[in-house]
């Protein structure tokens, strides 16, 4: 599937998977009902264009909370990026060796609307509890709603992901969150995560494939590979929920193929 900017990596083949099951459909329907109750589709699609531009052109504003500044961007984030992240993370954990080994708790750092943690938990036969942490109260509320929608035992709290506490031997996911940290916070988080995996815990870092989104990637990759981890690139061709397709077209985007890169350390 190509090379990571830091060098060749293990890769996965394109996949037509990512089935849209009834709980996923119900979750997206609820998102559409709630977030389009006070906003028009045009307002949300316009906000999605602005949100996409923030991620691509104004990344320096993300650490100040620019992604969720305003009802339109929050609606676009929940209704568009939430389902995309769920589908992609579910595919990733179902494809990674040992990612579905039972862990009592999945810890979602920078949980956003809870999509990544919910996707991992739903893919596990034992259905672990999910604990989400996000600095934005709105995101924590959305994450709680996501956990309920997928019938998961879960809780979400407002807090700093760099200082978050987690149980021993939990499975930690940080999806599209580390790249939004300022360098001092990111530098403080890495040794804590390395200590966690050295004690047997699992770790999954998910980030965009664009090199400018994560200039720190090579150093994190080296540290986690030394700790027994692996790096992968992903491309997933999958069916998207109807509202996500509509927003994709209206905002001038193209997510017929979902992409990401990951760092993963299996539980021991």
Condensed to tens digits (0 to 9), the pLDDT of residues 80-92 reads 999 999 999 999 9
Q: Which helix (H) or strand (E) holds 220?
A: helix 217-226
Q: Answer positive or negative: Cα dihedral of 10, 13, 14, 17.
A: negative
Judge whether residue 174 has pLDDT over 90: yes
pTM, full prediction: 0.89
175-224 confidence digits (pLDDT tens):
999 998 999 999 999 999 999 999 999 999 999 998 777 889 999 999 99
Beta strands in 87-166 (DSSP E): 105-109, 129-134, 154-158
Q: pLDDT for 112-154, tens place per residue?
A: 999 999 999 999 988 999 999 999 999 999 999 999 999 999 9
What's the pLDDT at 210?
A: 81
Q: Both tokens of residue 122?
A: 């739903």
pLDDT in tens, 198-207: 999 999 999 9
3-state per-residue secondary structure call for 169-209: CCEEEEECCHHHCCHHHHHHHHHHHHHHHHCCCEEEEEECC
pLDDT for 212? 72
Task: Give the pLDDT band (50/70/90) at residue 10.
Answer: very low
pLDDT of residue 52: 84
The proportion of the chain whose per-residue pLDDT surpasses 70, expressed as a percent, equals 87
Q: What are the strands, taking DSSP E only, across the chain?
A: 10-11, 105-109, 129-134, 154-158, 171-175, 202-207, 230-237, 257-265
Q: How far apart are CA 206 and CA 101, in angstroms?
A: 19
User: For the chain, which domains are there?
Assistant: 10-265 (3.40.50.150)
């Amino acid at each position: 599937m190509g090379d990571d900017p830091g060098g060749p990596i293990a890769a996965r083949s394109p996949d037509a998977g990512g089935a849209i099951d009834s709980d996923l459909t119900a979750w997206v329907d609820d998102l559409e009902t709630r977030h389009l109750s006070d906003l028009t589709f045009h307002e949300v699609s316009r906000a999605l264009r602005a949100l996409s531009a923030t991620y691509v052109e104004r990344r320096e504003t993300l650490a100040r909370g620019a992604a969720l500044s305003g009802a339109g961007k929050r609606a676009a984030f929940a209704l568009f990026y939430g389902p995309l992240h769920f589908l992609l993370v579910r595919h990733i954990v179902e494809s990674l060796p040992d990612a579905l080994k039972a862990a009592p708790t999945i810890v979602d750092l920078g949980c956003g609307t809870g999509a990544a943690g919910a996707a991992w938990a739903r893919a596990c036969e034992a259905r672990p509890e999910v604990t989400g942490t996000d600095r934005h109260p709105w995101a924590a509320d959305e994450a709680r709603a996501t956990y309920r929608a997928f019938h998961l035992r879960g809780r979400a709290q407002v807090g700093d992901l760099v200082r978050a506490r987690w149980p021993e031997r939990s499975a930690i996911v940080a999806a599209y969150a580390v790249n939004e940290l300022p360098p001092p916070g990111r530098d403080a988080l890495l040794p804590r995560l390395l200590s966690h995996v050295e004690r047997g815990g699992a770790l999954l870092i998910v980030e965009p494939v664009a090199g400018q989104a994560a200039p720190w990637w090579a150093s994190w990759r080296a540290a986690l590979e030394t700790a027994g981890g692996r790096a992968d690139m992903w491309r997933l061709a999958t069916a998207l929920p109807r509202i996500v397709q509509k927003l994709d077209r209206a905002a001038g985007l193209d997510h017929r193929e979902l992409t990401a890169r990951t760092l993963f350390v299996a539980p021991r």
